[in-house]
Amino acid sequence: MPESRRKTLIAANWKMYKTAEEAVAFVRAFIPLASTHRHAEIVLCPSPTLLPAVVEAARNTSIRVAAQNMHWLDQGAYTGETSPLQLKALGVTHVLIGHSERRQYFNETDETVNLKLKSALAHGLVPIVCVGELLAEREANQTTAVLERQTSVALTGIDPASTGPLVIAYEPVWAIGTGRTATPEIADEAHKIVRAQIARSLTPQVAASTRILYGGSVKPENTASLCTLDDIDGALVGGASLVEASFEQIVANSAA
């Protein structure tokens, strides 16, 4: 499917940064900037405690809000967790699933990613499922195997008819926060691997319509060269999304 049929998505992962006051100030400053970029869907992913303030600040705008994580169950005795019902009640529309830092530091597995993806789709949340290889895995020529495994397990038991909202984010772990960025050629190859696995796990039609984002030290300077490639449908942005002007430039450059 031509890239023009898949709307660009640019997501700002704020990780564990910003207070509520700082988050609201960002949104207020960013709204007039975002209004000039109709080509892209813009999503902010703040910390859990910031979600109510960011949802309210972005109300009646085109900006959407994502949680950085969620539990797959609707409720239960799971201290410190947040359910999809709670996110929906806040006005959250998207959710990150399986971010590499969740996998690395908080024991997220391919299997829990699958449970969360099923729950997100069932509750009408747009899932942004993260996949990506470690440096050691890339150096051992295991990138293809890792991406195929993570993608196939995430999609196990998923009804192709329910996957309209599905988004995948390829984030080479070796490029996150390191200043190292996958070349456009490396990123494009990885996205093709992921798209081919979606076709095998679901259907070629779902693979053609699924947006695949690149995430890994995305900056204004490299956004255009990444987003010109047919299989790259946007970006999951970390540190460069914390400043309004920098993030706006990334959104603008993604139109290239």
Is residue 104 classed as helix, strand or coil in its secondary structure? helix
Written as six digits, the tokens of 232 are: 């790259």
| Nearest alpha-carbon partner for 31 in 75, 72, 63, 71 | 63
Q: Which of 125, 207, 197 is nearest to 160 (CA)?
A: 207
CA 32 to chain centre: 23
* Catalytic choice (101, 133, 171, 244): 171
- CA 195 – CA 205 distance, rounded (Å): 10
**What's the domain count of the chain?**
1
Our answer to whether residue 22 is catalytic in this structure is: no
Name 230's Cβ contacts closer than 8 Å, sequence gap at least 6: 2, 3
What are the contacts of 138-146 at 24+ separation with CB within 8 A?
A: 138/172, 138/174, 143/190, 143/193, 144/193
Give me Rg for the CA atoms of the chain: 17
- DSSP code for 129: E
C-alpha–C-alpha distance, residues 213 and 110, integer Å = 19
Distance, CA of 62 to CA of 171 (rounded, Å): 25
Which residues, in sequence order, are CB contacts of 245 under 8 Å at separation 6+?
A: 33
Mean pLDDT by 10 residues, the chain (256 residues): 72 98 98 91 97 98 97 98 98 98 96 98 98 93 97 98 97 82 90 98 97 94 94 96 96 91
How confident is the model at residue 175, as a pLDDT? Answer: 83
pLDDT (0 to 100) of residue 5: 72
| Residue of 41, 99, 108, 133 marked active site | 99
As a whole number of angstroms, the distance between CA 81 and CA 42 comes to 25
Told to judge if 99 belongs to the known catalytic residues of this protein, a careful annotator would answer yes
Q: Closest Cα partner for 62 from 121, 7, 23? A: 7
CA-closest candidate to residue 112, choices 103, 104, 121: 103
DSSP sequence for 189-232:
HHHHHHHHHHHHHS-HHHHHH-EEEE-SS--HHHHHHHHTSTT-
| CA 26 distance to own-chain centroid | 20
Angstrom distance (rounded) from CA 80 to CA 97 = 16
Supply the pTM of this predicted model. 0.95
Write out the residue range of the structural domain in which residue 90 sits: 3-253
Name residues whose C-beta falls within 8 Å of residue 80's C-beta, 6 or more positions apart in sequence.
none
Q: Can you read off the two tokens belonging to residue 27?
A: 């949104």
**What is the predicted pLDDT for the residue at 115?**
98
Residue 54 belongs to domain with CATH number = 3.20.20.70
Q: Cα-flanking dihedrals φ and ψ of residue 221, to 5°?
A: -70, -30
